[in-house]
A = this chain, B = another copy of it.
Amino acid sequence: MDSFADRTKRRLRDELLDAAQDAIETGGYDGLRMAEVARRTGVSRQTVYNEFGDKWGVLEAVAARETERFLLDVNAALAEQSDPIDGLRAAVERALTLAGENQLVKAALGQPGSDQASQLLTTRGQQVLELAHLRLDAHVREHWPEVPAEDATSCVDVALRVVISHIVTPGPPPAVVAAQLARVLSPFLAESRRLHV
């Protein structure tokens, strides 16, 4: 079930992603060289193609891994609050703050238009969005027992899209956006809880 070969396979993928992420953070998607990723990892170029299919696959994989890490942090912030509204505000603020510091996000949004990596959060954003939704939804259903599942999903859906929008197109500081969003969604959650059996 967890043979040495399995661990080696995971390690290979992880090291390839390390090399790729480093390259992207330095020179963006355009600066990412398949041959360079292979060389840095000590593997042939073909192996990179076997693992990720094509260059876009590499970017998606890097984004997916970073998204998972990102959400671990955000979910932790959400879990620290007992009240849903407080949790939502904390999570939003944490997410926007992290995004502002994130090297990968900076690289993706660095030179608008010139770097196609930005499409990860815009026109080709399904992957990241679905992944984030999946993780947040599961976490929220676990921590908000008093909120009906369907309404929790709606809440996550709205908040997530607003947050991504603020990442792509920065507005006010994280705390302000978080407070605003919490205030807007507060009545919805209150009513949802009130009607809940």
Contacts and interface: CB of A to CB of B under 8 A. Distances in A.
Interface string A4-16: 1111100110010
* Copies of this chain, count: 2
Interface string A79-106: 0000000000000000000000000000
Nearest to A41: B4
A42 interface: yes
A181 to B, nearest CB: 45
14 contacts: A2-B42, A3-B42, A3-B43, A4-B12, A4-B15, A4-B41, A4-B42, A4-B43, A5-B42, A5-B43, A6-B42, A7-B42, A8-B8, A8-B11
Interface of A: 2-8, 11-12, 15, 41-43
